Amino acid sequence: MSLEEAIAVCTDLINFNLDEDTVPISSCRGRVAATNVIALGDVPPFDRSRVDGYAVTAQDFHDICSGSAADYEIIGVIAAGGSSVLKLRPGTAVRIMTGAPLPFGAAAVIKQEYAVTTGNKVQLTARLGQKTWCESCGSILKKGQEMNVAGEVLDESIMELLISSGVDKIRVFRRPRVCIISTGTELVMPGQPSSYGHIYNSNFSMLTAKLENEGCEVIQGRGDINDSLADISHEVQKAVNSADLVIITGGASEGDFDLVPAALIKTGCKILCGQLEMKPGTHTTIAAKGSVLVFNLPGNPGGGSILFEVIIAPVLRKLKGMRNFNRAWFNIRLSETYKNHNAVRLFCRGQLIDSINGLEAMPLKRAGRIKGIAPLVLDIAPGKGQKGDIAQALLV
């Protein structure tokens, strides 16, 4: 099965939405909006000045721009946060601050840099076609207008708009609960004593980091399950009962002790995918128990990390309720050769770099730390991977 087919099989199965919560606007960052939101007020909520200066009438603004500079009588001052009963008439001006409401009759504000005051008189100048520096009530958003945010991750720019329109709480989808478990008789958890033949489980920290980044609630199951069908089945059963999605690392290959696929069947899971046409991840098994998806990743954190980004992340995004769950892959030239000699697509880590040829991707053959602009995952087609070849890339 191709990567794209596997994503489609999984996302098609997610034909439901998680429960909803109502959260204060100040703590909604990273959550997915469950509904569109109606603006409670106009943004801005009144006609206001965008600069510090002098408000004038439409006729006077026209005259000033035409070059007939004249003295205007200052009839008052309006500060931001102030309100005013001042009425502008031709020949008068009101001193006004950035963000302050315009006085009645105002059509434009002349910036203070173009004003010379003498007592209560001000001489104003402007060039033809000068901006009015006024912002109309509701010009950004109108009261009652529906903001099309359902299924979007609430980031700071959406939050800013919601807050400005008077919204102080919002309906969001519950965070997905994701259970992680690791199998392998060789595994020891960090902080525990280790003996010959054993290694520390470094998958939990990698997966926890990625899951938290995706806004999930992480349930850490057992990280040192022995290669025993009974033990694995027991932990899988517990995991599918407690989580919306389960990730199992290890036991995924075709060795004599790679028992996860058998444990999935024993637990009553339906196998959706037994093999992926890609490296790493050829032996990735994807299964489902009811609506709970189960992913069996390689025990090697390097491979597991790539599979998380390319297949689990879009599935999780659908589960979270995101309208656009597909990731933004883009084309990029390779700065160095990493030849794909396989018959299937090769995925690897990379770095976005700034070269004399523009932005390029440097493939990383080993887990190493190379300074670049940003980390990538690269998708190199069979036979491709020469320096200068185009690969597909994902910012991670």
To the nearest whole angstrom, how small is the minimum distance from the Cβ of residue 330 to a second copy? 4
Q: How far apart are CA 241 and CA 17, in angstroms?
A: 18
Q: Which is nearer to a second copy, 15 or 357 (CB)?
A: 357
369 binds a second copy (CB under 8 A): yes
Does residue 383 come out as left (phi exceeding 0), alpha (psi in the -120 to 50 range) or beta? left
To the nearest whole angstrom, how small is the minimum distance from the Cβ of residue 70 to a second copy? 23
The residue within the footprint of a second copy, chosen from 367, 383, 386, 387 (CB under 8 A), is 367
371 binds a second copy (CB under 8 A): yes
The residue within the footprint of a second copy, chosen from 17, 21, 82, 171 (CB under 8 A), is 82
382 binds a second copy (CB under 8 A): no
Map residues 242-271 to x or -, x wherever contact with a second copy holds by CB under 8 A. Answer: -----------xxxxxx-------------
Q: Which is nearer to a second copy, 3 or 39 (CB)?
A: 39
166 to 195, contacts with a second copy by CB under 8 A? Answer: 166-168, 184-187, 190-191, 194-195
299 binds a second copy (CB under 8 A): yes
The single-letter DSSP state of residue 148 is: -
56 to 75, contacts with a second copy by CB under 8 A? Answer: none
* DSSP-assigned beta bridge partners for residue 294: 246, 287
98 binds a second copy (CB under 8 A): yes
Task: Please answer whether residues 272 and 283 qualify as being in contact, where contact means their C-beta atoms are separated by less than 8 angstroms.
Answer: no
Q: Tokens 């050769």 appear where?
A: 337
38 binds a second copy (CB under 8 A): no
Stretch that binds a second copy, among 2-10, 58-66, 85-93, 323-331 (CB under 8 A): 323-331
219 binds a second copy (CB under 8 A): no
331 binds a second copy (CB under 8 A): yes
To the nearest whole angstrom, how small is the minimum distance from the Cβ of residue 256 to a second copy? 6
Map residues 132-171 to x or -, x wherever contact with a second copy holds by CB under 8 A. Answer: -----------------------xxxxxxx-xx-xxx---
The residue within the footprint of a second copy, chosen from 214, 227, 244, 379 (CB under 8 A), is 227
To the nearest whole angstrom, how small is the minimum distance from the Cβ of residue 91 to a second copy? 23
Among 309, 384, 374, smallest CA distance to 346 is for 384
Cα angle: 45, vertex 51, 53; to 5 degrees = 120
Q: How many beta carbons lie within 10 A of that of residue 174, not counting itself?
A: 17
To the nearest whole angstrom, how small is the minimum distance from the Cβ of residue 322 to a second copy? 13
The residue within the footprint of a second copy, chosen from 13, 33, 44, 106 (CB under 8 A), is 44
Among 25, 10, 1, smallest CA distance to 325 is for 10
Secondary structure (H, E, C), 9-24: HHHHHCCCCCCEEEEE
CA gyration radius, the chain: 30
Neighbour-count burial of 105, counting CB atoms closer than 10 A to its CB (0-12 exposed, 13-18 middle, 19+ buried)? middle
To the nearest whole angstrom, how small is the minimum distance from the Cβ of residue 247 to a second copy? 14
Cα angle: 137, vertex 140, 142; to 5 degrees = 65
Q: How far apart are CA 223 and CA 93, in angstroms?
A: 73
The residue within the footprint of a second copy, chosen from 266, 333, 339, 384 (CB under 8 A), is 333
Tokens of 180: 């992680």
What's the Cα-to-Cα distance from 184 to each of 188, 199, 234, rounded to whole Å?
9, 10, 15
Q: Which is nearer to a second copy, 9 or 145 (CB)?
A: 145
Run of H or E including 393 = strand 390-395
Q: Which is nearer to a second copy, 108 or 394 (CB)?
A: 394
Q: Using DSSP bridges, classify how beta strands 187-188 and 199-200 pair: parallel, antiparallel or unpaired.
A: parallel
Residues 6+ apart with CB under 8 A from 241: none
7 to 26, contacts with a second copy by CB under 8 A? Answer: 24-26
User: What 3-state class would DSSP assign to 159?
Assistant: helix
114 binds a second copy (CB under 8 A): no
To the nearest whole angstrom, how small is the minimum distance from the Cβ of residue 311 to a second copy? 17
339 to 358, contacts with a second copy by CB under 8 A? Answer: 352, 354, 358
Task: Please answer whether residues 55 and 108 qualify as being in contact, where contact means their C-beta atoms are separated by less than 8 angstroms.
Answer: yes
373 binds a second copy (CB under 8 A): yes
Stretch that binds a second copy, among 13-21, 38-46, 116-124, 171-179 (CB under 8 A): 38-46
What is the Cα 331 distance to its own chain's centre?
20
